[in-house]
Amino acid sequence: MAASLTADGGVVYAPGVGNHHGMPDRASGFCFVNDIALGILRWRELGVRRVVYLDLDAHHGDGVEAAFANDPDVLTISIHEAGRWPRTGTVSAPSRGVWNFAVPAGFNDTELRFLLEAKILPLIKTHAPEAMIVLPGADALEDDPMSRLSLSNNALWDAVRAVRGLAPRLAVFGGGGYNPYSLARCWAGVWAILNDIEMPLHLPPAVQELLRGVAYFRAAGRNPPARWFEQLRDAPAEGPVRDEVKGLCV
């Protein structure tokens, strides 16, 4: 549907989808149907050829890469935690349009911005896509229990903002995220960016009440910090750009 709605251009945001691990013959990693691959195939039916898929989820976008690894018109770019399940995405194949950036634990906002500016945005611009799918993936956030990455939601929002105008058709999906408080706030911020809505410094009482009613059974949910309920924006997670990250741009 996202592809159909953007047949003539535009932006669609569908946070509840983005099953990037699904394979043609089997489910994988909580993903039964790879809706991303199906969206790209739908664009193809509509005559769209050159596509970019940008995956910022903490896990490698293996299913989408597998679907289009032999199609140079589809550029797949995945930034993910090194050694994290499914433990793929360790090499790139530029001639086939496959770029993987396996980043170290503690990956911070400064490092994501570095990768975007030094390598990823130039790759996207060179490819000149007619359509793009972006998967922010809230499980790369510092507050998420499923990775050891240390991004704030600012970094993911800035990434969406940076690529927003690089293709006439844009679909933004949600992807992974296992802390309901950080996920909801991240997704809301993406919506604000795509609609040019100014983000509030403090969340209104009705929103805080809604968030406080969410059940989160992990240890962090027993005594959650006030910022999970009161603020949309995380504190920035700036830091050094380590040699391991710089080496990914060689």
User: Is the preceding peptide bond at 86 cis, omega within 30 degrees of 0?
Assistant: yes
Residues near 225 by beta carbon (within 8 Å), at least 6 away in sequence: none
Query: Which residues belong to the active site?
Result: 21
Using CA atoms, how far residue 248 sits from 88, 99, 228, 233, 245, in Å, is 16, 10, 33, 29, 5
Question: At CB < 8 A and 24+ separation, what contacts does 206-215 make?
Answer: 211/181, 211/184, 214/180, 214/181, 214/184
Distance CA(9)–CA(43), nearest Å, equals: 11
The strands making up 169-173's β-sheet, listed across from edge to edge, are 10-14, 169-173, 131-135, 51-55, 74-81, 98-103
